Amino acid sequence: MCFRRKLPNVRAVKHISYATLQKHPLNYLKQRFQSNFNRLLKKTDAPNSSGTKITVAGCGQVGITICSFLLMRNLAKQLVIYDVRHDWAQAEALDLLHGSCFINNPTITACNDGSKTKDSNIVIVTVGARPSGKDRSRLAIVQKTADILKSVMPLLVKQSPNAVFLIISNPADIMTWYVQKMCKLDKFRCFTTGCHLDSARFRYAIAQRMGLPSRSVEGYVIGEHGASAVPVWSTVTVAGVPLMRVVPDIGGSEDKENWTDLFNKGVTKGAAAVSSVKGYTNWAVALAAVDVVSAILNNSGRVMSLGTDVCGLNCIEDHVVLSLPCVVKSNGITHILQLPLTDTEQQQLLKSANMLLEVQCGLKV
Ligand SMILES: NC(=O)c1ccc[n+]([C@@H]2O[C@H](COP(=O)([O-])OP(=O)(O)OC[C@H]3O[C@@H](n4cnc5c(N)ncnc54)[C@H](O)[C@@H]3O)[C@@H](O)[C@H]2O)c1
């Protein structure tokens, strides 16, 4: 009996005018219910934490796949989808929201003006053009994507000046260099997934040849996320055994087992094998991006081959963005590893750096 008396009295809500009731009977009911329900909730002094906020800029194939993995892995409490196609972004957000009860009730919003991205912790950038036509290389779309980023990035940086910016848009190394320069962002908090994806493809290709799962293989690809990527055979271990100890000539001119072919087919031409059929790649890049986000949010200190300005490292003397193994913590990249490379690997890395530098110089900024 005592308990019943403490329940709020539904008739006590007086502030709703008769006009409102006439106009919107449903509103009236909603307000009555909400007002009474709120009286049951007693607020404490705990600060209101809204959780990690992540913006995904660009909700094409790559962007929306990243969104779905972020939600499935429970990494974003607030997700903002930003795209010039507002209706499309809103529809994608609503589609995801319809499944809220399966993904821990996140807040998902969409916008085309950047307003809702304010104070994001992480901004993942996938806006851009896809390679199409005869030349399907990543470098073919460089100026087009740069022009798009020129209109998008200042807005996103202004809204979230302290965020970590993860650049996916291709050609990813050049675009990261461009964004770092244009928005004056530090290299530790504006970087690209770069060769983290290529390293995953590398591990997969080696594991396939060995008949083992990818996770039994460690090893890095460095340099350009693209045709001049460098396989660092000297870092490859299979079940802890350095592959170079078993195949001393691996990747060299005497490589009778054709490991270089395996790299070319599985890594540098890996994306084309998918996109020549589908028209795009989305799953592996999204998994790689979400892996980086998870490393950041967990302050993990994991080492990943990511692309940022590597001037002064491994004999590279220019401000060029390419991938080297990086330590990832909550504020971004804390350290970049100077790998002890073989002569062949070092030469290939410098070649990759020079090629990227040439494209950087040709960009109209
Ligand atoms: N780094 C990697 O490993 C990797 C892998 C795959 C794809 N990519 C790159 O990711 C990018 C996206 O690929 P996708 O397949 O999702 O392409 P997509 O064409 O499906 O999506 C691009 C999205 O960007 C949006 N967009 C374009 N201009 C915009 C603007 N000015 N403002 C806001 N939004 C804008 C488009 O509306 C579209 O939704 C491409 O550059 C692609 O090459 C990178």
Low-confidence residues of the chain: pLDDT under 50: 1, 13
The whole-angstrom separation of Cα 222 and Cα 236 is: 13
Longest C-alpha distance within the chain, in Å? 90
Which residue has the least CA distance to atom 26 on ligand 1? Answer: 127
Annotated binding-site residue numbers for NAD(+): 58-63, 83, 168-170
The whole-angstrom separation of Cα 117 and Cα 293 is: 17
Which residue has the least CA distance to atom 17 on ligand 1? Answer: 60
Q: Please report the pLDDT score of residue 308 as a whole number.
A: 98
Atom of ligand 1 at shortest range from CA of 168: 1
Secondary structure class of 52 (helix, strand, coil): coil
Instruction: Ligand 1: list residues with CB < 6 Å.
Output: 58-63, 83-85, 126-130, 145, 148, 151-152, 168-170, 172, 193, 197, 225, 280-281, 285
Q: Please report the pLDDT score of residue 42 as a whole number.
A: 75
DSSP string, 289-326: HHHHHHHHHTT--EEEEEEEE-TTSTT--S--EEEEEE
Distance of CA 82 from the midpoint of ligand 1 (Å): 12
Q: Please report the pLDDT score of residue 31 as a whole number.
A: 73
Q: Please report the pLDDT score of residue 137 as a whole number.
A: 66
Question: What six digits make up the tokens of 297?
Answer: 């949010």
Active site residues: 225
Probe residue for ligand 1, chosen from 85, 116, 126 as the CB with the greatest number of ligand atoms within 8 Å: 126
Sheet holding 190-192, edge to edge: 107-111, 78-82, 53-57, 122-125, 164-167, 190-192, 302-309, 321-329, 332-336
Q: Assess contact for 183 and 164: CB atoms under 8 A.
A: no
Contacts of 163 (CB under 8 A, 6+ apart): 55, 120, 121, 122, 123, 157, 189
The whole-angstrom separation of Cα 247 and Cα 251 is: 9
Q: Assess contact for 307 and 322: CB atoms under 8 A.
A: yes
Task: List where CATH 3.40.50.720 sits in the chain.
Answer: 53-192
Q: Assess contact for 168 and 62: CB atoms under 8 A.
A: yes
Atom of ligand 1 at shortest range from CA of 281: 6
**In CATH, what number does 195-362 get?**
3.90.110.10
Tens of pLDDT, residues 218-229: 999 999 999 999
Q: Please report the pLDDT score of residue 23 as a whole number.
A: 63
Probe residue for ligand 1, chosen from 127, 167, 282 as the CB with the greatest number of ligand atoms within 8 Å: 127
Q: Please report the pLDDT score of residue 19 as a whole number.
A: 64
With a cut of 0.90, is the ipTM above it?
yes
Q: Please report the pLDDT score of residue 5 as a whole number.
A: 53
CATH fold of 53-192 reads Rossmann fold (3.40.50)
Annotated binding-site residue numbers: 58-63, 83, 168-170
Q: Please report the pLDDT score of residue 135 as a whole number.
A: 67
106 Ramachandran zone, left/alpha/beta (phi>0; psi -120 to 50): beta
**If we measure between CA atoms, which residue out of 75, 128, 33 comes closest to residue 300?**
75
Task: List where CATH 3.90.110.10 sits in the chain.
Answer: 195-362
AA letter at 323: S
Atom of ligand 1 at shortest range from CA of 288: 3
Q: Please report the pLDDT score of residue 1 as a whole number.
A: 47
Q: Please report the pLDDT score of residue 199 as a whole number.
A: 98
